[in-house]
Amino acid sequence: MTDGTEAQVAQQFITALPHARALGMRMLSIGNGAAEIEMPYDERLIGDPVTGVIHGGAVSALMDTCGGAAVMCHPEGNGSTATIDLRIDYMRAATPGQTIRARATCYHVTRNVAFVRAEAMDEDSDNPVAAATGAFTFERKGTKA
């Protein structure tokens, strides 16, 4: 759990990113190479007009933001990053009307690269909606941001 100040810092991260803000993302937790972000259901993000399911692109944006946040809060990093590549597997359609929550972990870093795994869930947290793996640029502490 994050205290008031940490929660503020976490939300400021999102507020500073216009695209994340436009998608209505909210940071739930961030720290020690892991991050959790949620994105409430929004009719403007519908990708399949017949079913009302959110577009995969919006889920990609959530995964990318969450992965980036995990890298930026890695204790050995200098707080900046960019995505090198990101692969997303869509296991099932997110249930219309439900908030999607992503959790990303930066599970390994080298001198220049951070490796990330992420998962997205709706209210049925036993069956992930999507999974992602990505590589991000990584700069160690002390190198210029």
Partner 1 sequence: MKRPRPEPVQVIKQRRDGALAALVGNVPYIRFMGIQFERRGDELTAIMPYSEMLIGNPILPAIHGGATAAFLEVTAIIELSWAILWPEIEAGRMDADTLPRLPRTVDFTVDYLRSGLPRDAYARARINRSGRRYASVHVEAWQDNRARLFAQGTGHFIMPDLAAPRDG
Confirm or reject binding of residue 18 to partner 1 (CB under 8 A).
yes
HSE-CB of 135 using CA atoms within 13 angstroms: 6
For residue 120, give the nearest of 132, 111, 109 by alpha carbon.
132
**For the chain, percent helix, then strand, then coil, each to nearest 5?**
25, 35, 35
Confirm or reject binding of residue 82 to partner 1 (CB under 8 A).
yes
Confirm or reject binding of residue 88 to partner 1 (CB under 8 A).
yes
Query: What is the closest distance, in whole angstroms, from the C-beta atom of residue 39 to partner 1 in the complex?
Result: 10
Confirm or reject binding of residue 17 to partner 1 (CB under 8 A).
yes
Confirm or reject binding of residue 9 to partner 1 (CB under 8 A).
no
**Which of 8, 32, 48, 127 touches partner 1 (CB under 8 A)?**
48
At 41, list the tokens.
């259901």
Q: How far apart are CA 132 and CA 5, in angstroms?
A: 30
Count of residues of this chain found to bind partner 1 when the rule CB under 8 A is applied? 38
**Which of 10, 27, 61, 73 touches partner 1 (CB under 8 A)?**
61
